[in-house]
Structure 1
């Protein structure tokens, strides 16, 4: 026979369970604006019905329910959306780093403008044409020298400024590597805490949220793959376990390619004695990024993972089998080639001309070597004397023919690494490439930002806290709690009647 107090226990369980749900709802409301918080829910489960199947079970119409209990408190999370978000976040980190680096380069080059190299050189060519009209005029000669000095100083400024930003990019890359290692250490520490809690049957939802937020940050910097392993013990089937983090290449494949090798490159391996494998950048003798070492594996920059770190290293410059590549090295190399060819050809024509003193062989610019030509170009010591400016081809008074030849250097076909071109077309090509690269970086940054934002919105719709929904749940749980309490009152009245109202005969 079932207990007279059966209904009291059923109602009591209902009250306690609804109270747990109300407290969880209150926690959701309190954390509605907490970054990285995932809403939590109570998983209700029925308690074991009465009576259990046995030989001495009472003969009643059927099994009676014994109430409800809070089986677990689980956070609401969609793993697929997390993976998708981190993939888009990784693309955003790469293109955003490239976009910012190119934006700084565009500010330095400042083309087209009245202060850029192109306009400065145009003024120099114009001053030579003016000199051809008045070759003996000291004022015209002084203007040529000053305009030539402006050209040299503009080359110097552009080269020095680009080199300065390049060093900043290197510092950012090194800082990003340290930040990656810091995030890995934090994730490893949270793994340890989770491993201590889960075997007892609990779900450390707050630790899960904190860990996922750190993994989201990590995905911006490198391309990663997260796998889970169980904590062991009496872990709940809903437990998320320990995170292991594998490094992927820019194509989302395991190193050295797909399918994955027997021993993947691990950033975080919870089964190892030392879980964290730090990321380190190696530079060659030319101070270019050479390889990135992770888990004892040296990875070439061009094969390295995507994300912010690769974007910074590609912008700073890296060594590709002895050849320097990258956004800033390419532009510095173009400036050096342009400065060297310009100075060499101009000096050749100038040395063939005659100064006011009747002598030839004077140099106008001083430049040595291809590497660093733009940084080192300057006026030759011969140019300190205005009479040494070779505007003439003969000793005849009024001869300014060589000044015209010097001005024609602008249209001379010169040999560059990329082929034959004039100074103007070569420079326009370098600036055009920069503009196209910057436009592409901005476009893809915006695209990846929109895509990651869309995934984040879907993720928020699943995991985020809706105050309207929580208020609805709160009212629902409140009514259920009140109904359970009312049920206790009714049963109490029944018991009172049985105890105090029955069996009074014969008193």
Structure 2
């Protein structure tokens, strides 16, 4: 009887609806899960002859509730948030270093000039001359430790890049594999919802490492490229990201994409954490290190040149107090090991004469050409560096908060669209359960009608 067949289709369709609802409820707390929805369609008459209401209902598909634009917006804001967060973390470390008392170059200079002033009262005093040497040595250690701190962070950033590249390459391989499985399942009319969620999660992690673009393909796979266009994943083929060390600095690197034997250089900003690492190294850390080197050279040369105009207590020509390696001045700056009586504080070697000492004190106000700061006193240059660090740190903090808020908004929109709503699913359970029972009632009614017909004979 057609009434029973129609009711059976209703039973099957509403049982599928119950299954989908149960799956949603089971995954109400599963991160990244996109709720599903059974799609129903009426079955029309099997023949154009005669009058027929139809043949019941069928489930045409199980729809995954997601919006490609919303998901892409989440990935885009995630890239910016990760970039800002990584940059802020590095900038905060630099600000902490620059604010540390033991790294304060200006304070070290003040201490040295104070020792020079003290010695002007009695230039021939061995203890006072020793104090000059001690403060000079302390100043070199400030330069050394600050430079070493820059170098250590520079090295750490290289290690961060290596880890980010390794993670990115692993994600690319996994995305390509999921692409393959989605295509295979879609070709057999299977439900790839779980695989689509998995792929979205993997691409979300990748977007933290770099800025990406995606393009849906007819076979269900997703093409992934860098924002600048270089291929990352095409179908089931994955690229490999490589960081090629800079010949002049092993902790800097040129980034490139290797796809199927072809190399694509990454020109410009890669975005995400990888972009933040390189940008911070190139735009902030290395210029600061260069400025520190210039300060060390300018001060050491000026001090040594001034000493060269005088004579020590033994009547010998003035010798340098500072020495450094031109390849890395601030990290190698040190005192030469002069004894107190070898300090040439007088132009003629007379014990009470302090004219060269006066010239050394005058260096505190002498200006030098420092990149980014013009002609400026060494102490003022360092103070300006500290100020610049604080200003930039505040700006980066503001940018990070804005990026985080945008990402949170994008995630909220995505979750409102795709996440499971317990109240809605509870209502669906009632709807499908009632429909299922109603179809059972139809079968029961059909059975009663059949029994009544049999009873007539």
**Shorter-chain TM-score tier:** over 0.9
- Tell me, yes or no, if structure 1 residue 155 matches structure 2 residue 106: no
- Tell me, yes or no, if structure 1 residue 316 matches structure 2 residue 281: yes
Instruction: Say whether the 8 Å CA contact 1:355–1:388 is kept in structure 2.
Output: yes
Computed over aligned residues only, the root mean square deviation of the Cα atoms, in angstroms, reads 2.1
**Counterpart in 1 of 2:410?**
455
**Counterpart in 2 of 1:257?**
none
Q: Could you say what secondary structure the match of 2:317 adopts?
A: coil
Instruction: Say whether the 8 Å CA contact 1:281–1:293 is kept in structure 2.
Output: no
Instruction: Please give the residue correspondences for 1:348-427 in structure 2 after superposition, counting only pairs within 5 Å.
Output: 348-369=305-326, 371-382=327-338, 385-418=339-372, 419-427=374-382
- Give the structure-2-normalised TM-score: 0.93
Instruction: Say whether the 8 Å CA contact 2:105–2:382 is kept in structure 1.
Output: no
Which of 270, 274, 286 aligns to 2:235? It is 270
Which of 27, 34, 53 aligns to 2:30? It is 34
Q: Could you say what secondary structure the match of 2:238 adopts?
A: coil
**Counterpart in 1 of 2:242?**
280
What per-residue deviation string (whole Å, max 9, x for no partner) do you get for residues 314-352 of structure 1? Answer: 2234xxxxxxxx322111111110001011111112222
Instruction: Say whether the 8 Å CA contact 2:209–2:273 is kept in structure 1.
Output: yes
**Counterpart in 2 of 1:342?**
299
Q: Tell me how far apart the structure 2 counterparts of residues 165 and 114 of structure 1 sit (CA, whole Å).
A: 17
Q: Could you say what secondary structure the match of 1:70 adopts?
A: strand
What per-residue deviation string (whole Å, max 9, x for no partner) do you get for residues 173-222 of structure 1? Answer: 12212211111110111111112111111231111110111111111222
Q: Could you say what secondary structure the match of 1:305 adopts?
A: coil
Instruction: Please give the residue correspondences for 1:35-114 in structure 2 after superposition, counting only pairs within 5 Å.
Output: 35-48=31-44, 50=45, 52-53=47-48, 57-58=49-50, 60=51, 63-110=52-99, 113=101
Q: Larger helix proportion, structure 1 or 2? A: 2
1:294 CA drift (Å):
4.1
Q: Tell me how far apart the structure 2 counterparts of residues 361 and 368 of structure 1 sit (CA, whole Å).
A: 21
Q: Could you say what secondary structure the match of 2:404 adopts?
A: helix
**Counterpart in 2 of 1:184?**
172
Closer/same/farther in 2, CA of residues 134 and 26 from structure 1, 3 Å limit: farther
Instruction: Say whether the 8 Å CA contact 2:241–2:255 is kept in structure 1.
Output: no
Which segments of 5 or more consecutive residues in structure 2 lack a partner in the other structure? none
**Counterpart in 2 of 1:204?**
192
Q: Could you say what secondary structure the match of 1:65 adopts?
A: coil
Which segments of 5 or more consecutive residues in structure 1 lack a partner in the other structure? 232-240, 255-264, 318-325
What per-residue deviation string (whole Å, max 9, x for no partner) do you get for residues 35-74 of structure 1? Answer: 21111111111122x3632xxx23x4xx413322221112
Which of 3, 7, 12 aligns to 1:7? It is 3
Q: Tell me how far apart the structure 1 counterparts of residues 391 and 16 of structure 2 sit (CA, whole Å).
A: 59
Q: Could you say what secondary structure the match of 2:316 adopts?
A: coil
Q: Tell me how far apart the structure 1 counterparts of residues 115 and 75 of structure 2 sit (CA, whole Å).
A: 57
Q: Tell me how far apart the structure 1 counterparts of residues 436 and 404 of structure 2 sit (CA, whole Å).
A: 45
Instruction: Please give the residue correspondences for 1:227-242 in structure 2 after superposition, counting only pairs within 5 Å.
Output: 227-231=215-219, 241-242=220-221
**Counterpart in 2 of 1:470?**
425
1:435 CA drift (Å):
2.6
Q: Could you say what secondary structure the match of 2:136 adopts?
A: helix
Instruction: Say whether the 8 Å CA contact 2:103–2:146 is kept in structure 1.
Output: no
Q: Tell me how far apart the structure 1 counterparts of residues 343 and 443 of structure 2 sit (CA, whole Å).
A: 110
Q: Tell me how far apart the structure 1 counterparts of residues 27 and 390 of structure 2 sit (CA, whole Å).
A: 45
1:389 CA drift (Å):
2.6
Task: Name the count of aligned residue pairs.
Answer: 452
What per-residue deviation string (whole Å, max 9, x for no partner) do you get for residues 435-481 of structure 1? Answer: 33322222212111110110110000001111122112112222222
Q: Tell me how far apart the structure 1 counterparts of residues 105 and 140 of structure 2 sit (CA, whole Å).
A: 10
Q: Tell me how far apart the structure 2 counterparts of residues 104 and 292 of structure 1 sit (CA, whole Å).
A: 28
Q: Tell me how far apart the structure 1 counterparts of residues 11 and 380 of structure 2 sit (CA, whole Å).
A: 82
Q: Could you say what secondary structure the match of 1:148 adopts?
A: helix
- Give the structure-1-normalised TM-score: 0.84
**Counterpart in 1 of 2:265?**
299
Closer/same/farther in 2, CA of residues 491 and 165 from structure 1, 3 Å limit: same
1:300 CA drift (Å):
5.4
Q: Tell me how far apart the structure 2 counterparts of residues 184 and 290 of structure 1 sit (CA, whole Å).
A: 20
Instruction: Please give the residue correspondences for 1:126-145 in structure 2 after superposition, counting only pairs within 5 Å.
Output: 126-145=114-133
Closer/same/farther in 2, CA of residues 375 and 305 from structure 1, 3 Å limit: same
**Counterpart in 2 of 1:238?**
none
